[in-house]
Amino acid sequence: MGSVVVEQLRKDFSGVTVLQNIDLDIKEGEFFALLGPSGCGKTTTMRCIAGFESPTSGTIKIGDRDVAKLAPNERNCGMVFQSYALFPHMNVFDNVAYSLNIKELRKGNLFKKVGVYTRMLNSKLVKYPKEIEKKVMDILEYVELTDHAKKLTSELSGGQQQRVALARALVMEPEVLLMDEPLSNLDLKLRHTMRNTIRRIQQDLKITTIFVTHDQEEAMSMADRIAVMKDGEILQIGTPTDLYSNPKTPFIADFVGTSNILPGKVVASDNGITTVQIGNQQIKSVTQTDKTDVQVIIRPENINVLNGGSDDYDNAFEGTIQFATYLGNTVRYDIKVGEHQLVVDTTYESGDSIKRSGEKVRLGVSPERVLLI
Ligand code: ADP
Ligand code: MG
């Protein structure tokens, strides 16, 4: 299994820079996500690693090999795409066996036979060597498709097709598995199941995986580490908890989870407490900063709706409920405080009453939960 090290990767398309200053240091066996909005350069980064695009500058290493001069099939990367890119006229088994068999034919210097093989496959005359048969059946069992081996891929559901694509990549025993938005075409429920399947297989095989997604929840729930990208650059790399509790920019605070982001001015700083003026309110934070103009970041679950006057918070505000959204085990409130609108998440247990629009509430936030950036 290989590590992936990318240094100062840059990619221009006809003079337009779409990627720059990309540095990645992905460890052997790591599940690494590239997360960012559509058009930020995730797929291009992936295609450079896989060898489908050549970088304008920068280096890419897989394991200890500099792969710059290597063709895609020599890089030992398995790829899974959003569109499954399966052969619709072949059955599941043949789809998974195809590349493996070609690799074997090439190895034995039987390159000319590749064309013959493809023709035989089309006329269903192909007989696979025992080792290939076993390898394919093993991997199909792994992705729970044994019973579907003889079906055409066009007869399968989306989730099953995606598992064929995964099996096809894994059967080659790649050093690195590259997955580009593999779950985007699946419905919500299946997406959740497939997250678990992919994570289980990745952990079992300990295969270095780069997973591209625009869905922060997907990245947060699956990845060991995440690189957040925007406009062709990496803004921050960290574990899901790093990114959530210590976002370096307001963009990340908003993109990774939900945040209340309020512009303010620092008016005092003593004893480890920074006081910030927001409109006609003041708020205290434990964040130390040299800046005067700051963005105040508060996560929705860190604002408490106080019951009665007994709670003693360093930051307490009056607010008016605008909307309540019931989400099962939480209720999300939109609350107006001064001229600002805050999002507040409260845990909900059966029997709790839900506050109504127009109701006045008192809110408390501890200074430890107020981040300044
Ligand atoms: P993402 O996968 O994050 O949505 P992409 O890597 O596909 O983003 O695209 C990044 C940018 O590069 C986009 O502005 C896109 O239009 C541009 N781009 C991608 N491929 C090409 C190409 N072959 N030629 C020109 N521009 C491209
Ligand atoms: Mg893409």
- Domain containing residue 219: CATH number: 3.40.50.300
- Whether ligand 1 lies within 6 angstroms of the CB of 230 is answered as no
Rounded to whole angstroms, the Cα distance separating 170 from 165 reads 9
Q: Which ligand 1 atom is the nearest neighbour of the CA of 44?
A: 6
Q: Contact at 8 Å (CB) between 312 and 367?
A: no
Rounded to whole angstroms, the Cα distance separating 313 from 338 reads 18
- Domain containing residue 358: CATH number: 2.40.50.140
The string over 226-255, giving b where at least 16 C-beta atoms fall within 10 Å of a residue's C-beta and e elsewhere, is bbbbbebebbbbbebeebbeebeebbbbeb
For residue 328 the two structure tokens come to: 């099962």
Measured N-to-C along each axis, helices 113-122 and 92-107 cross at an angle, to the nearest 10 degrees, of 160
Q: How far is the CA of 41 from the centre of ligand 1 (A)?
A: 6
Domain match, 305 and 218 both: no
Nearest CA to ligand 1 atom 21: 13
End-to-end CA distance of the chain: 38
Identity at 161, one-letter amino acid code: Q
At residue 262, the 3 state secondary structure works out as strand
Residue 254, in any domain of the structure: no
Domain match, 138 and 197 both: yes
Nearest CA to ligand 1 atom 17: 18
- Whether ligand 1 lies within 6 angstroms of the CB of 279 is answered as no
Q: How far is the CA of 356 from the centre of ligand 2 (A)?
A: 42
Domain match, 282 and 203 both: no
Q: Contact at 8 Å (CB) between 254 and 297?
A: no
The ipTM (two decimal places) reads 0.99
Q: How many domains does the chain have?
A: 2
Rounded to whole angstroms, the Cα distance separating 97 from 101 reads 6
Ligand with minimal distance to 227 CA = 1
Residue 87, in any domain of the structure: yes
The one-digit pLDDT tens for each residue of the chain (373 residues) are 689 999 999 999 999 999 999 999 999 999 999 999 999 999 999 999 999 999 999 999 999 999 988 999 899 999 998 888 898 888 999 999 988 887 777 776 555 566 666 666 666 667 788 888 999 999 999 899 999 999 999 999 999 999 999 999 999 999 999 999 999 988 988 999 999 999 999 999 999 999 999 999 999 999 999 999 999 999 999 999 999 999 999 999 999 999 999 999 999 999 999 999 999 899 999 999 999 999 999 999 999 998 766 567 899 999 999 999 999 899 999 999 999 999 999 999 888 889 999 999 999 999 999 999 9
Residue 109: give the domain boundaries: 4-245
